[in-house]
């Protein structure tokens, strides 16, 4: 039985709603929780919020399993997680507990990332400074651009799946991805010493 066939069987089993159904669904949770959390933390930045979003996304997915109509189950799960994350960001904007300028991605055009003492334990534990720099550059994007970049370049989804998952047009995926890449490129130019020789960026190709 292929993974896809196995996945569909688990979904059918999970739809029954009894105790074994929950077990079947938990197999799917374990399979996709990294991807769901990855997208959540890229949108939310804050690991605690991402943790909340991830858990809520799986609960919502289980309760709405009847609305799954085939296709990539992973993309369906990510769509639910992305919606949960955006809803949470909207709620925070309506009732901001901090300044709007301090919201994630509010300063996407800032310069190179500096060592940040306020980094999360997960980020501090990153051995590779380059990865930290890249993460920091991505985190400075606005949530909309960040989600597209993570789905296309980190999770390697194609444009169509990304558009369907995030509920945006294909052209929007293209333009957001292009701009997100340009912003990350400009951001990484600020830390040339961290970049490997083969990835050294030239100081040209600026957008007019």
Partner 1 sequence: MPDSRPLTEFDFELLSAYIDGQLSDSERQLIETRLADEPSLSAALDDSRATVALIKLLPPTQAPRNYTLTPQMVSARSQPAHRVVPFAKTSVFSALSTAAAVVLLVIGVSFLTQSSDQENANVAMLATSITAQPFEEAQSNARAANTALAAPAEPTRPISATNIAEVDSLALTDAAQLIAPTQTQIAAIAEQAAAESLAAGSAMQALAAPTMTEGLLFSTESEGTLSPDLFLMPPLGDAAPDDAGSVQDQVEGAGGGTDNENAFESAPSIAQSAAMTETPTTTPSSTATSTKTMTPTVAPTQTRPPQVAPLSTDDTTRTAGLVLIGVAIVLFTVAGVTTWKRRSSARQ
In the complex, the residues that contact partner 1 under the rule CB under 8 A are 19, 22, 25-26, 29-30, 33-38, 41-42, 47, 51, 54-55, 58-60, 62-63, 83, 87, 122, 130-131, 134-135, 138, 149, 152-155, 159, 174-175, 177-179, 181-182, 184-185, 188, 195, 198-202, 204-208
In whole angstroms, how far apart are CA 174 and each of 136, 149, 154, 167, 171? 22, 10, 16, 14, 5
CB of 26 to partner 1, least distance (A): 4
> Which two structure tokens, joined as six digits, stand for 138?
């991505």
CA-closest candidate to residue 159, choices 178, 140, 135: 178
Give the helix/strand (H/E) hosting 42: helix 19-44
CB of 124 to partner 1, least distance (A): 14
User: Rounded to whole angstroms, how far apart are CA atoms 162 and 144?
Assistant: 12
CB of 199 to partner 1, least distance (A): 5
CB 85 within 8 A of CB 44: yes
Q: Report CA torsion sign: 82, 87, 93, 99.
A: negative
CB of 15 to partner 1, least distance (A): 13
Q: Would you say 101 or 196 has its CB closer to partner 1?
A: 196
Q: Would you say 10 or 29 has its CB closer to partner 1?
A: 29
Q: Would you say 103 or 126 has its CB closer to partner 1?
A: 126
Q: Would you say 13 or 83 has its CB closer to partner 1?
A: 83
User: Rounded to whole angstroms, how far apart are CA atoms 208 and 193?
Assistant: 26
CB of 151 to partner 1, least distance (A): 11
Q: Would you say 99 or 200 has its CB closer to partner 1?
A: 200
Residues 53, 58, 60, 64, Cα dihedral to 10°: 150
């Amino acid at each position: 039985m292929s993974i896809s066939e196995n996945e569909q069987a688990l979904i059918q089993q999970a739809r029954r709603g009894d105790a074994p159904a929950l077990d079947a669904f938990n197999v799917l949770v374990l399979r996709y929780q990294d991807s769901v959390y990855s997208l959540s933390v890229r949108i939310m930045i804050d690991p605690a919020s991402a943790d909340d979003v991830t858990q809520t996304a799986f609960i919502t997915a289980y309760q709405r399993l009847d609305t799954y109509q085939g296709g990539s189950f992973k993309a369906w799960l990510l769509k639910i997680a992305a919606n949960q994350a955006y809803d949470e960001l909207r709620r925070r904007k309506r009732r901001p507990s901090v300044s709007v300028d301090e919201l994630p991605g509010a300063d996407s055009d800032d310069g190179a990332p500096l060592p940040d003492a306020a980094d999360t334990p997960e980020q501090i534990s990153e051995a590779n400074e380059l990865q930290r720099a890249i993460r920091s550059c991505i985190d400075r994007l606005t949530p909309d651009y960040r989600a597209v970049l993570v789905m296309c370049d980190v999770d390697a989804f194609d444009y169509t799946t990304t558009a369907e998952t995030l509920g945006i047009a294909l052209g929007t995926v293209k333009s957001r991805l292009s701009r997100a890449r340009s912003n990350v490129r400009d951001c990484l130019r600020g830390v040339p010493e961290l970049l490997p020789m083969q990835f050294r960026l030239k100081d040209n190709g600026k957008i007019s």
